[in-house]
Amino acid sequence: MIRPRGAWRLAATLAVAGCAATTPSLDDDPAAVARLIAARARHVRIVYLGESHDSPYHHINQARVLEAMLAGGARPALAFEMLAQDQQPEVDGAMREEADSAAVGKRLRWVERRWPDFEMYRPLFDLARRYGLPVVAIDLDQPLVRRIAKEGLGALPAGERSGLASRLAPDADREQGIARDIEAAHCGLLPAAAVPGMVDAWHARNVAMARRILQALERAPQVVVIVGRGHQAPGGLADQVEALRPGTSQLAVDFVEVGREEPDQAPPGNHIVWPTPPVERPDPCAPLRNR
């Protein structure tokens, strides 16, 4: 749970590059917060907009931030965790050929791939189309993720394994924290033997996404990443980017449901926590208990 901090107000220093982590308030004007984040984003190469996938508030604010960045002259590539790398030809074709943005979701098999309602993401694709932004599919292909989760990274051929192995220095506490988060996300119902493979898969996805983002930076001045907020946790996407290309400037915006979620930890100076109203949802553990 998020601990009360009194009447949170947006600090004026949010717009200053290199300032400490900052938390706006639920009472702050969202458009003003988005503009200030956009001003801060001018100074970095990668901007993460970390969401809870099913929160409409998070998607609305993501679009606000991206639109504010575009109004300020930014022309980033737009990268999606929700799109697997093997879908890139489909993504390119959909953005080039589909007259209706709603048709993009159908062409990308959004529902089949079990992501929440495409309508929540549609404004981001609309902005990409309007401004001619490259849309980049960054996640690992799903069959490969499932194989790693089931068999572990060691089951892959050596060449493939080396390209997906974590680039981070060993840290037992960090790895235990990742394992605990995965267990919690599965309601404590995972067999203990399944956890190491799922940790391997989590790292492999972050490494693959980090590589893809860095490739996009070779063709675009900046990348805005639409990603689940769990990938912003210690050991996640930003850490893998830093390990692969040290010194790459990054900014993480962590959309957090007040009273339901903890802000992900990140080094001071590159982290903004944006509180949002909570979303009412059914018990996420019920389907797992019924299996």
**Per-residue pLDDT reduced to its tens digit, 110-147:** 999 999 999 999 999 999 999 999 999 999 999 999 99
pLDDT digits 0-9 by tens, 36-85:
999 999 999 999 999 999 999 999 999 999 999 999 999 999 999 999 99
pTM for the predicted model, two decimal places? 0.90
Taking a C-beta distance cutoff of 8 angstroms, is the pair 51, 227 a contact? Answer: yes
Identify which of 220, 131, 203 has the alpha carbon closest to the alpha carbon of residue 166. 203
pLDDT band at residue 108 using 50, 70 and 90 as cut-offs: very high
pLDDT digits 0-9 by tens, 72-82:
999 999 999 99
Q: Annotate the chain with DSSP letters as a single string.
A: -PPP-SS----GGGGSTTPPPB---TTS-HHHHHHHHHHHHTT-SEEEEEE-TT-HHHHHHHHHHHHHHHHTT---EEEEEEEEGGGHHHHHHHHHH-SSHHHHHHHTTTTTTT-S-HHHHHHHHHHHHHHT--EEEEEPPHHHHHHHHHH-GGGS-HHHHHHHS--SPP-HHHHHHHHHHHHHHTTT-S-GGGHHHHHHHHHHHHHHHHHHHHHHHTTSS-EEEEEEGGGGSTTSHHHHHHHHSTT--EEEEEEEETTT-PPPP--TTSEEEEEE-------TTHHHHT-
What domains, with CATH codes, occur in the chain?
33-277 (3.40.50.11550)
CA distance 195 to 182: 7
Please report the pLDDT score of residue 100 as a whole number. Answer: 84
Share of the chain above pLDDT 70, in %: 90
CA distance 287 to 291: 7
Sheet of 135-139, strands arranged across: 135-139, 77-84, 223-228, 46-51, 250-257, 271-276
Mean pLDDT for 213-238 is 96
| pLDDT, averaged across the chain | 89
Task: Measure CA 183 to chain center.
Answer: 20
226 phi and psi angles, rounded to 5 deg: -95, 115
pLDDT band at residue 25 using 50, 70 and 90 as cut-offs: confident
Give the sign of the dihedral formed by CA 82, CA 88, CA 89, CA 95.
positive
Please report the pLDDT score of residue 193 as a whole number. Answer: 97
Please report the pLDDT score of residue 13 as a whole number. Answer: 38
Identify which of 176, 174, 177, 198 has the alpha carbon closest to the alpha carbon of residue 186. 198
- Show the tokens assigned to 225: 């990443």
* Beta carbons within 8 Å of 257's beta carbon, 6+ residues apart: 52, 55, 57, 275, 276, 277, 278, 279
Identify which of 20, 18, 14, 60 has the alpha carbon closest to the alpha carbon of residue 36. 14
Please report the pLDDT score of residue 3 as a whole number. Answer: 32
Task: Measure CA 92 to chain center.
Answer: 21
Please report the pLDDT score of residue 264 as a whole number. Answer: 66
pLDDT band at residue 98 using 50, 70 and 90 as cut-offs: confident
